[in-house]
Amino acid sequence: MSKHVYIITGASSGLGAALSRLLLSEETLVFGLSRTVNREIQQLAQDLKANYQFIAADLTQVERIEATFREIIESLDSSKIETITLINNAATVTPIKPIEACLPDEIVSSIQLNLTAPILLTSSFMKETANWAAQRAIVNISSGSGQYPASSMSVYCSSKAALNMFTKCVAMEQNKEGNPVLMLTIDPGMMNTGMQQIARESDFELSAYFRKQNEEGNLAEPVTVARNILLELSRHLNSSLA
């Protein structure tokens, strides 16, 4: 049994894929949740003799989240695990348009993925690991958009702002627990991902700004950001043991 377990949403591309690749080892077990499988990660895990399990999951189908997470936890032997970390990474930047132009289904789907899914996963994580002795952590991937308003990005900005506040509230709750779950929210900055491509190719106020950042080479590569996130996580976990 692997000593360290990671559950990563949005694991098939961008930052989620970069995190998955970096975490592959014989001492880790990585669960990658996404709608589509990344065959390259599966092959890499096989080559490294690492433990990687892909779980097909559409996190906009929020009614299935609790059961999916329970299946993951029930497959584990908690007595042999030193750390377990949930990384809520999956998100969508769409719809990118004035709110009156957004369809109801677009609004609901975006909020379900960006906010409702992380909340439900966090709730399930707390319940299913409540009696574990292992160190537990949840990393919520945020965005600068959660702090700075942007025209035509009201749904995305609002969901990320709410995720920031949710993380702070749960952290306060956990401070009262004997074995608290470490709660982190991390803004990865601007990255060279599919979401950035969507933003710069969309017809809205900030698209020229996003294009300029790409043209000037100001977008970080996901693997660089992933390394920094894992270093930050490790630092906090180590400090909690001190």
What residues are annotated to the active site?
156
Nearest to 125 by CA among 199, 183, 187, 80: 183
Q: What is the rounded CA–CA span in Å between residue 210 and residue 117?
A: 27
Are the CB atoms for 141 and 222 separated by under 8 Å? Answer: no
Side-chain half-sphere exposure of 57, counting CA atoms within 13 A: 27
How far CA 140 is from CA of 9, 41, 99, 114, in Å, comes to: 10, 22, 25, 10
Are the CB atoms for 145 and 160 separated by under 8 Å? Answer: yes
Q: What is the rounded CA–CA span in Å between residue 185 and residue 39?
A: 29
Total number of residues shown for the chain = 242
Nearest to 94 by CA among 152, 148, 43, 146: 152
Nearest to 96 by CA among 160, 157, 16: 157
- Round the CA-based radius of gyration of the chain to a whole number and report it: 18
